[in-house]
Amino acid sequence: MKIIKTKNYEQMSRVAANILSAQIIMKPDCVLGLATGSTPIGTYDQLINWYKKGDIDFSEVTTINLDEYKGLSPENDQSYRYFMNTHLFDHINIDKDKTYVPNGLEPDSEKACSEYDQIIKAHSGIDLQLLGLGNNGHIGFNEPGDSFEKETHCVSLTESTIDANARFFSSIEEVPTQAYTMGIKTIMQAKKILVVVSGIQKASIVKKAFFGSITPEVPASVLQLHRDVTIVCDEEAFSAL
């Protein structure tokens, strides 16, 4: 596990964008696993800037996102498809047909999840997976539990996650209670993993997840077992260590 400590959010975003762009330069037709949440927004902004300057070409890149709320349409401004379009895809030269997000409108969970796993397998897996870190240690929407969930599955979100994500909705009742998420096995099969973490509110979970024991109660702790993980963490998020 490699930890890069940065001064602040801006620097964290720049370092993470550097790692993603290096991946694209080394393998222009790479498969990137992408994440939502507030933390990667600065990383995406930086990638957009470099694209506009002519430094990165996304034309051959495929992206596979971690998760999507069950029940939200791509047009819903709280859906993760909408997030990805507005924060990244609409601003770069990526072929949208090569960008994948689980189908939140598929009511049959088994169908939605097995279709998503097929998409991942058809692309022979993920070259570089970007992750944020939930306040309770979740990655994607893999919530704390009794075992490490394997492939794409439907989850019931915990109260802590619903509370944390309520800030994006006009009321807490509007936050979906379920989501489709890539599983831990799929995340762990990515060739490289890049985690971005920022802010004082993440300090104690950073300590638990990356320096505590490996347990499904802290899903991100499994990353300690991956052979190529880079954690880019700002000073505040690192402050409990």
> Per CB under 6 A, does 152 bind ligand GLP?
no
> Per CB under 6 A, does 134 bind ligand GLP?
yes
> Per CB under 6 A, does 39 bind ligand GLP?
yes
Pairwise CA distance, residues 45 & 34, whole Å: 14
Set 103, 138, 153, 234: catalytic member? 138
> Per CB under 6 A, does 210 bind ligand GLP?
no
Choice from 17, 67, 70, 103 touching ligand GLP (CB under 6 A): 67
Give least dist CB 26 to ligand GLP, A. 25
> Per CB under 6 A, does 93 bind ligand GLP?
no
> Per CB under 6 A, does 37 bind ligand GLP?
yes
Give least dist CB 199 to ligand GLP, A. 8
> Per CB under 6 A, does 141 bind ligand GLP?
yes
165 annotated active-site: no
Set 68, 87, 127, 136: catalytic member? 136
Binding to ligand GLP, residues 165-204 (CB under 6 A): 165
User: Residue numbers of the site for ligand GLP (CB under 6 A)?
Assistant: 35-39, 66-67, 132-134, 140-141, 161, 165
